[in-house]
Structure 1
Amino acid sequence: MYVEFQQLPAHARVWIYQANRAFTEQENRFVQSYLKQAVQDWNAHGAPLAGSFQIRYNQIIVIAVDEHHHAASGCSIDASTGWFKDLAFQLGIDFFDRSVALVQEEALQLFPLLEVKQAVAQGLITTESFIAIPQVKDLADYRAHWPAQANDSWLKKYFVAASV
């Protein structure tokens, strides 16, 4: 059952999907319509899940579910992953891209994972840069720490090496 994203409690479970490019306006409308219906019909073993989604930077989709209402199961999580495989097929977008997303105002700049160390060395990503981290503990963590400063993310290991 679809609920407004803002109405989900802090303990809601979160999944973050990053597209390899920004959506066009038409794609954004399609994704919103698709996901609203998918979340509305989302269930675990026949029990409806109280979930929602949010699109950030026209390129990242955050899915959340209130597991106190009913817990997501392996099958329901697989179903949600299937949404992104289907959207990828329909739109020609990769939602399983593992690039690092640097937040620049209301847009993202993607760095392939193997080029992140070089981007830090070149000063393209600094300790103060904001990064769209791919995982958070729960909705409270997402609301408080997303996006995260690079120095507070897994990227901090590159800054230690860069300053030596």
Structure 2
Amino acid sequence: MEFSQHSRVWVYQADKKLTDQEAQQIQQELDNFTISWTAHNNQLKAKAEVRYNRFFILIVDESQAGASGCSIDKSVHFMKQLEQKFNINLFDRFNLAYREGEEIKSLPRQAFEELLKQGKINTETIVYNNMVQNVTELENKWEVPFKNSWHIQLFRDLVS
């Protein structure tokens, strides 16, 4: 199924890395959800994926039916069910993810700030911008160097 570059995107980040088994289970649940996801009784052209055993990405191509407030509420409710079932937190926007070598880690804002002060995270460190809005941004602005992300605004005083 082809999706437009303008398709809407929602990225949810787990506060910990999931096991391969958990990621597979969640992928199955995401697939089941997107197959039945509707807006005003219209089937949404949607898909979802688990990336890096940590991120859940929902994509809706609104060319045939747009995601409404009610359908977005359904997705949020579904994500909250996943949180409970898998004992994860998907809604902490200040749990910041970054890449360290081949590993993706996440930290609360204060701990992230400490690593920045220590120089263990710098302007070239890859971070994850989970506020991307569409497929184009997901492909080009999701995994970016710290210096090119919204994170730089938050920690401007710590970066030379």
Could you tell me whether the CA contact under 8 Å between 2:49 and 2:57 is conserved in 1? yes
Task: Say whether residues 1:30 and 2:19 are aligned partners.
Answer: no
Structure 1 range deviating more: 141-150 or 42-51: 141-150
Alignment CA distance shift 1:69-1:107 (3 Å):
farther
Give the equivalent residue in structure 1 for 2:74: 79
- Residue type matched to 2:66 in 1? A
Gaps of 5+ in 2: none
Could you tell me whether the CA contact under 8 Å between 2:31 and 2:47 is conserved in 1? yes
- In the TM superposition, what are the counterparts of 1:2-81 in structure 2 within 5 Å? 3=1, 7-81=2-76
Structure 1 range deviating more: 138-147 or 150-159: 150-159
Could you tell me whether the CA contact under 8 Å between 2:129 and 2:141 is conserved in 1? no
Give the equivalent residue in structure 2 for 1:145: 141
- In the TM superposition, what are the counterparts of 1:121-160 in structure 2 within 5 Å? 121-157=117-153, 158-159=155-156
Cα-to-partner distance string for 1:94-113 (whole Å, 9 max, x where unaligned): 11123110123443211211
**% identity of equivalent residues:** 31
TM-score by length of 2: 0.91
Could you tell me whether the CA contact under 8 Å between 1:127 and 1:159 is conserved in 2? no
Give the equivalent residue in structure 2 for 1:115: 111
Structure 1 range deviating more: 103-112 or 24-33: 103-112
Structure 2 CA distance, aligned partners of 1:140 and 1:70? 19
Cα-to-partner distance string for 1:119-151 (whole Å, 9 max, x where unaligned): 211112111111011111311111122211100
Structure 2 CA distance, aligned partners of 1:70 and 1:143? 23
Alignment size in residue pairs = 158
Gaps of 5+ in 1: none
Could you tell me whether the CA contact under 8 Å between 1:120 and 1:159 is conserved in 2? no
